[in-house]
């Protein structure tokens, strides 16, 4: 209890009294004796009510916005004096309240029932924070601990755009790509996945979804690492465009890389020449001794190299007449002497095609 003592000094001066007083006692005769008395002021012992609806209304990589309802001065009425808002990466309790970080710039309490907010900044990305609040009045009465809430600040930074995608080799149905890993958060860390696409049309963000996604993209390596991918199953002698985008664990996707193009090679000729149209026919019998030998040497690819054609009859290399084109040469051989009755004739043909 507080006691306030008040001392009153009351002076009465009377004018025009019929009795003349001497100058020495005139003032004293008109002065009342001081009156002293007391009364009691009731102290403020009622703290503001506990905030029970503290909530998260928004967040970014380094900020969290809190919302709550003002509780008042005396319990749930009036207007409190100040807020103490604290946050920590550990669960906040009354036991560790003092060690939690106090926010700066808390708003002035509004009248009880008013919705209030505050944004806490300079937080770390991808970190779980706990938040709580206490309310104080002008008598230094402080409320209990509010409900404790938590949230994890998001990762909103995408990997950097890959700027050095290149084609390092090709065949008739493959193209080898190379690039430098961009990282997770811009150019640091390690991204989560790659999306490599190709198309016979120039790739842009507008038609990205319609481009063909490559199979077997590698897992991203740490930023700065050189990575490669071989895209197979392509058509020969066809111009293809290629691009790549990296994505992190929060599904933030990088912008479109530099777009490159290259044309696949022609399909290589791997089939050797072959013979057909044999006269006499293969394994024929009852052939006359004066028969000539006629056959075709063909190639379905680059064609037969005529300089490599060789005919061997019964172990002897002979020189047939060669006519036609590289796709289909006709070989005609007229023996200098007839074959013998009952003789088996063995014919060997060798030839190479014009494929490199």
pLDDT by residue (tens digit) across 187-233? 889 999 999 999 999 999 999 999 999 999 999 999 999 999 999 99
Going by the DSSP 8-state scheme, the letter that residue 97 receives in this structure is G
User: Is residue 269 in some structural domain?
Assistant: no
Q: What is the total count of domains within the chain?
A: 4
Q: Name the least confident of 27-31, 152-156, 305-309.
A: 27-31
Distance CA(136)–CA(120), nearest Å, equals: 20
Q: What is the three-class DSSP state of 12?
A: coil
The DSSP secondary structure of 119-166, one letter per residue, reads EE-SPPTT-EEEEEEEEE-TT--B------EEEE----PPBPPP---E
Looking at residue 13, its pLDDT comes to: 40
Looking at residue 298, its pLDDT comes to: 95
- Does residue 279 share a domain with residue 230? no
Looking at residue 31, its pLDDT comes to: 65
Q: What is the three-class DSSP state of 351?
A: strand
CATH classification at residue 135: 2.60.40.10
Instruction: Determine the distance from the C-alpha atom of residue 223 to the mean position of all C-alpha atoms in its chain, rounded to a whole number.
Output: 13
- Does residue 249 share a domain with residue 206? yes
Q: Name the least confident of 81-90, 176-185, 266-275, 288-297.
A: 266-275
Distance CA(152)–CA(61), nearest Å, equals: 9
Looking at residue 9, its pLDDT comes to: 41
CATH classification at residue 326: 2.60.40
User: Is residue 336 in some structural domain?
Assistant: yes
Has residue 28 got a pLDDT over 80?
no
| Mean predicted confidence (pLDDT) in 286-290 | 91
Distance CA(175)–CA(172), nearest Å, equals: 9
* Residues contacting 224, CB < 8 A, separation 6+: 180, 181, 183
Q: Could you say which of 129, 152, 175 is where a domain stops?
A: 152
Looking at residue 38, its pLDDT comes to: 81
With tokens 């997770």, the residue in question is 184
What residues make up the domain containing 97?
55-152
- Residues 32-67, buried b or exposed e (16+ Cβ, 10 A)? eeeeeeeeeeeeeeebbbbbeebeeeebebeebbbe
The tokens of 305 are what?
A: 């190299």
Q: Could you say which of 263, 290, 308 is where a domain stops?
A: 263
| Mean predicted confidence (pLDDT) in 329-342 | 93
Looking at residue 355, its pLDDT comes to: 80
User: Is residue 157 in some structural domain?
Assistant: no
Looking at residue 294, its pLDDT comes to: 97
Higher pLDDT, 271 or 10: 271
- Does residue 292 share a domain with residue 254? no
Answer whether 215's CB lies under 8 Å from 120's CB: no
3-state helix, strand, coil in the chain (%, to 5): 5, 40, 55
Higher pLDDT, 89 or 186: 89
Beta strands in 290-346 (DSSP E): 293-298, 304-313, 316-318, 321-325, 328-333
User: Is the model's pTM score more than 0.75?
Assistant: no
Distance CA(113)–CA(78), nearest Å, equals: 9
Has residue 14 got a pLDDT over 70?
no
Q: Could you say which of 152, 185, 206 is where a domain stops?
A: 152
Has residue 29 got a pLDDT over 80?
no
User: Is residue 112 in some structural domain?
Assistant: yes
Look at phi and psi of residue 10 and say left if phi exceeds 0, alpha if psi is from -120 to 50, else beta: beta
Looking at residue 15, its pLDDT comes to: 42
């Amino acid at each position: 209890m507080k006691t306030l003592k008040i001392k009153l000094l009351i002076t009465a001066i009377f004018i025009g009294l019929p009795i003349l007083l001497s100058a020495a006692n005139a003032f004293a005769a008109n002065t009342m004796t001081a009156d002293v008395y007391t009364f009691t002021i009731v102290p403020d012992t009622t703290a503001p009510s506990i905030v029970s609806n503290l909530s998260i209304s928004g967040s970014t990589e380094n900020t969290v916005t809190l919302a709550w309802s003002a509780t008042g001065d005396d319990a749930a009425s009036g207007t409190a004096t100040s807020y103490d808002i604290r946050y920590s990466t550990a669960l906040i309790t009354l036991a560790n309240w003092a060690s939690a970080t106090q926010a700066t710039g808390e708003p002035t309490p509004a009248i009880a029932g008013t919705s209030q907010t505050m944004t806490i900044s300079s937080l770390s990305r991808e970190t779980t924070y706990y938040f709580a609040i206490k309310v104080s009045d002008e008598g230094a009465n402080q409320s209990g601990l509010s409900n404790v809430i938590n949230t994890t600040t998001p990762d909103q930074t995408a990997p950097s755009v890959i700027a050095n995608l290149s084609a390092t080799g090709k065949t008739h149905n493959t193209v080898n790509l190379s690039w430098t890993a961009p990282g997770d958060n811009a150019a640091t860390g390690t991204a989560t996945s790659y999306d490599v696409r190709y198309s016979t049309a120039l790739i842009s963000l507008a038609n990205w979804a319609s481009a063909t996604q490559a199979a077997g993209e590698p897992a991203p390596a740490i930023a700065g690492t050189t990575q490669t991918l071989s895209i197979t199953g392509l058509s020969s002698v066809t111009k293809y465009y290629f691009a790549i985008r990296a994505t992190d664990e929060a599904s933030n996707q990088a912008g479109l890389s530099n777009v490159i193009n290259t044309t696949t090679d022609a399909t290589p000729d791997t089939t050797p020449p072959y013979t057909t149209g044999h006269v006499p026919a293969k394994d024929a019998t009852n052939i006359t001794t004066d028969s000539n030998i006629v056959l075709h040497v063909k190639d379905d690819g680059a064609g037969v190299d005529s300089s490599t054609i060789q005919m061997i009859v019964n172990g002897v290399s002979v020189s047939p007449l060669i006519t036609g084109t590289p796709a289909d040469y006709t070989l005609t051989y007229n023996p200098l002497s007839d074959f013998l009755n009952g003789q088996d004739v063995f014919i060997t043909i060798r030839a190479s095609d014009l494929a490199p």
